[in-house]
Amino acid sequence: MKNIVLSGVVATLLLLSGCSTNTPAVDTKATEKPAVETQEVKAVETETVASEDSLVDSTSSSSSNSNLSMTDIESQLSSIYFAFDQFSIDSKMQTKIETASELGKSTASNYNIKLEGNCDEWGSDEYNFALGLKRADAVKKAIVAQGIDASRISMVSYGESNPVCSEKTQDCWAKNRRVDFKLLP
């Protein structure tokens, strides 16, 4: 009973006290806008180039690789395959890492690289997404160690949702445990 009376008294005091009638002080100096200085803008200058001067020298020395399209370069990048439930790069895949790094430093130097981590169908979706990301990260670390700038590399994990093979065999599952290289403009 004491609690009810006490809570009633507190509620009444809060109700009767209400809000303060004092108005807040406003600093009018802070709201005044400072004078803005104007500057004169120069007119845009145009230049006309004669048609004979606008040709680019097509005989300049350029490598034959610079004429390759993104698709052509991607076809030279091999997938990196992994053992079951692993994200460490096998020594057999090291030559593919070195080839991808060399292409990334020369032919594909104007492109960004997307690493796509993939898994087989074994394991939960969450586990496979995490494993695909770990695989992509392992490849990223390997090609960064070979001299590729890390800021050019992005990673994505598809988990088990991007299979290249759907048969229920060991060979097929092994093809799905991979990291693919994609080039981005």
pLDDT by residue (tens digit) across 128-164?
999 999 999 999 999 999 999 999 999 999 999 999 9
Our measurement of the distance from residue 124's CA atom to the centroid of its chain's CA atoms, rounded to an integer in Å, reads: 24
Whether residue 93 lies inside any domain: the answer is yes
| CATH number, domain containing residue 127 | 3.30.1330.60
For 29-49, write each residue's pLDDT tens digit. 554 555 545 555 455 454 444
25 found inside a domain: no
Alpha carbon distance 50, 88 (integer Å) = 59
pLDDT bucket at 54, cuts 50 / 70 / 90: very low
Site of tokens 């993939």:
118
Q: Yes or no: say if 137 and 167 are a contact pair by the CB < 8 Å rule.
A: no
Task: Assign 62 a pLDDT band (cuts: 50, 70, 90).
Answer: very low
Domain tally, the chain? 1
pLDDT category at 59 given cuts 50, 70, 90 is: very low
Neighbour order of strands in the sheet with 80-81:
80-81, 178-184, 112-118, 153-159
> What is the C-alpha to C-alpha distance for residues 169 and 173, in angstroms, rounded to an integer?
6
Which residues on adjacent β-strands are paired with residue 114? 154, 182
The Cα–Cα gap between 95 and 117 comes to 19
- pLDDT for the residue 56: 40
Query: Facing residues of 21 across strands?
Result: none
Q: Is residue 42 part of a domain?
A: no
Residue 152 lies in a domain: yes
Question: How confident is the model at residue 14, as a pLDDT?
Answer: 64
Task: Domain of residue 116: give its range.
Answer: 78-177
102 alpha carbon, distance to own chain's centre: 22
Q: Specify whether the CB–CB gap between 81 and 97 falls below 8 A.
A: no
